Structure formats: C-alpha cells, structure tokens
Amino acid sequence: MPIAAPAAVPLPKEIEAAAEQLPHLAAETVQLVMSRSEFGPLEPPEVLRRAQAAADQGRSALTEDEAQELAALRSAVLAPLRRADRDRVRAYDRVHTGRELMPGEDAKVLGLVARGARALPPPRRERLRALLGKAVAAGLGPPARPPAP
C-alpha cells in the first residue's frame, strides 16, 4: 500500500500576498526574510530591501557558475524595462542598504523588478528564485537563538 505524501502546510496569507508581489522570490524566501523581522510581517517593499541586502551578503555562498548565472538572470529581469527604469533599478541596487532613499523608492523598484521577473519564461524565473533563495539564506545566516531562560 503506497504511503500518502504529507499535505503541504499552507503559508500565512501575508506571505502569500507578498510572494505574489515579489515574483523573483520564492514564497519560502519571503517567509525566511519575514521570519527575521522583530516587528511582525513586513510590507513587500521592505521584503525587497531586506532580500536584496541579504542576497548581496550571501552571494559568496554561490559557486562561481551560480553567481554568473544569477547576474545573467538579474540582467534578463531588467531587459524588458525602459532604459530609465533599468537605470533606476541599478541605482537602487547600489544604494539600497544603509542609506535613506526617497519615500516610496522601494515600492517603485519593486514594481519594476516584478514586471521584469514576470516577463521571464517560467523555468528561468524558477531558477532566479532558487539562486536568490540560496543567496538570501546565506546572507541572513542562521536564525538568532532566543535568550536562555
């Protein structure tokens, strides 16, 4: 008699909603980023900012081939955008951590990245999610331990 596979645990609605707005990130990656928030669920633009910072830090965990593939996929995300929009995303990538941005900049860049990611063929989008997930997880590091009682 075959053993039934365990049913997948549904993700909380706020994670599903954010993942829908962040098509370049797997829902599990969104969940991981949100799990590190001390203040509860994050808005999608803040997930974008934190995921970008973590991916930048965790890029060294990728093999050289994976890092090159991720760079190519990130370029492919920008390809369908207008030149000014590509420049905006590239500028955001350079300055998103440790600096105050103009109000709403995270949300504007989120919309551009989402549009470019949705234009990728599904297999390439899935590969982008996998590589970003690996880099983000490495960049975030192990979860902090709760204080000892």
In a domain, 147, yes or no: no
Rounded to two decimals, the pTM is 0.85
Q: Decide if 22 is inside a domain.
A: yes
- Whether 5 maps to a domain, the answer reads no
Neighbours of 140 (CB within 10 A): 20
Residue 33 has pLDDT above 90, yes or no: yes
Contact between 46 and 20 (Cβ < 8 Å): no
Cβ distance 130 to 23 under 8 Å?
A: no
In a domain, 122, yes or no: yes
Owning domain of residue 99: 15-140
Please report, as a single letter, which amino acid is at residue 88: R
> Is residue 60 situated within a structural domain?
yes
Spatial distance between the Cα atoms of 138 and 133, rounded to a whole number of angstroms:
9
Measured CA to CA, the distance from residue 110 to residue 78 in angstroms comes to 12
Q: How many structural domains compose the chain?
A: 1
> How high is the pLDDT of residue 65?
97
Phi, psi of 15 (to 5 degrees): -75, -45
35-44, 77-86, 106-115: least confident range: 35-44
Query: For residue 93, which amino acid is it?
Result: D
Decide if 6 is inside a domain.
no
Q: What is the pLDDT of residue 105?
A: 85
Give domain status of residue 73, yes or no.
yes
For residue 96, the model assigns a pLDDT of: 64
